[in-house]
Structure 1
Amino acid sequence: MKPLFRLAAAASLLVAAAPAQAQEVLPGLWELSSDNMQVNGQPLPPMQELLGQVESLPAEQRQMLEEAMAGKGIQAGGQGLRVCLSEAQVKAQELPLQDAQSGCSQEITERSERLWKFRFRCPDAEGQGETRFVSEREFVTRIDSRFNTAGQAGSSRMETRARWLGEDCGELKPRP
């Protein structure tokens, strides 16, 4: 699998993981990291290695990828990808996957104080997962999905750890 496709696939999966939040999590800047990602049963390199591949891209390609990610409310940084959750998103207790621009929809199939199970469907992916809330500053999401991205169909599995970095999201805007 080409490095750029691997990063795009990983970013897409992390975006799916990012939105799972409950009332007890804090609004602000969150970092999502995953070292346990598989596509079509094959392990992907750790997130740090995939992000390192971005640095080796030609400047124009790197800028296009960074702009595309920023348009989806994602920024590379630290140990993984960063997203900003607004106070309204946290209070709504909804998965921000569901918006008119993305064409994605989701359904929470089970919800308790510490565990959410969900299904999602996007134009190029569908699947299910669960989020376990460790504290207001940390949660872990597992996603199993099927996708068709850039003409390549397949399946993926990943586990992502999200940790709260602080209230200030800097220049990163919440996902619409």
Structure 2
Amino acid sequence: MRKTAVSILICCAASVQGAWATGQMRPGLWEMSMKSDAFKAIPKMSPQQMEQMRKMGVNVPKMEDGAMVTKVCITKEMAARDQPPIERNEAGCQPRNFQRSGNTYSSDIVCDGAGMKGMGKVNGSFAGDTSFTSVYDFKGTAYGQPVTQHSENSGKWLAADCGSVKPVAEMKPAK
């Protein structure tokens, strides 16, 4: 079950990916929040376990009001993109059919990896260049288990300087 929940969260992260690359985000430090029904399947970590992981360099998102909250650095280059980068993540999910009209955007998320198969749809909108909201729905399978998943995402710009938070592209594991 834990492997399934992690795959779903990876797929959810792909849905947020559409937001940070639509050419409407201000570069700098952003706080991203994701509420998902997938969180119910993830074992809870004690504050001590979370602190130990942070000391080991793991970017452990905090949980606030049922949402996973993390800080993300958006570079000038990322903010200037007109569409999300098309890249497959560990779950085999990638955005397709990205569309933007004014301050709204949508994208399909297609998963065809070994552990995850199915289709998702993300719809979102910006309020200027300092905040966004989106909704993501997915239906498919994760490691052979049927999955119907819903998440609500938001982001808000915090500062021009990212401080010690690395840009998203640098957070990915080396291949």
> Per the shorter chain, which TM-score range?
0.5 to 0.7
Aligned position for 2:78 = 89
Aligned position for 1:144 = 137
State the TM-score, normalized to the length of structure 1.
Answer: 0.67
| CA apart distance, 1:144 | 0.7
| CA apart distance, 1:55 | 3.6
Aligned position for 1:134 = 127
CA 1:150 to 1:61, structure 2 compared with 1: closer, same or farther past 3 Å? farther
Aligned position for 1:33 = 33
- Aligned residues of 1:54 and 1:62 also touching (Cα < 8 A): no
| CA apart distance, 1:25 | 1.5
Secondary structure of the equivalent of 1:94?
coil
Q: Quick check: 1:114 aligned with 2:113?
A: no
| CA apart distance, 1:94 | 2.3
Distance 2:19 2:70 in 1: 15
Structure 1: 5+ residue runs without aligned partners? Answer: none
Identity of aligned residues (%): 20
Q: Quick check: 1:76 aligned with 2:65?
A: no
| CA apart distance, 1:165 | 1.3
Structure 2: 5+ residue runs without aligned partners? Answer: 170-175
- Aligned residues of 2:132 and 2:155 also touching (Cα < 8 A): yes
Aligned length: 158
Distance 2:7 2:57 in 1: 11
RMSD of the TM alignment (CA)?
3.7
Aligned position for 1:54 = 45
Distance 2:148 2:16 in 1: 15
State the TM-score, normalized to the length of structure 2.
Answer: 0.68
Query: AA paired with 1:30?
Result: W
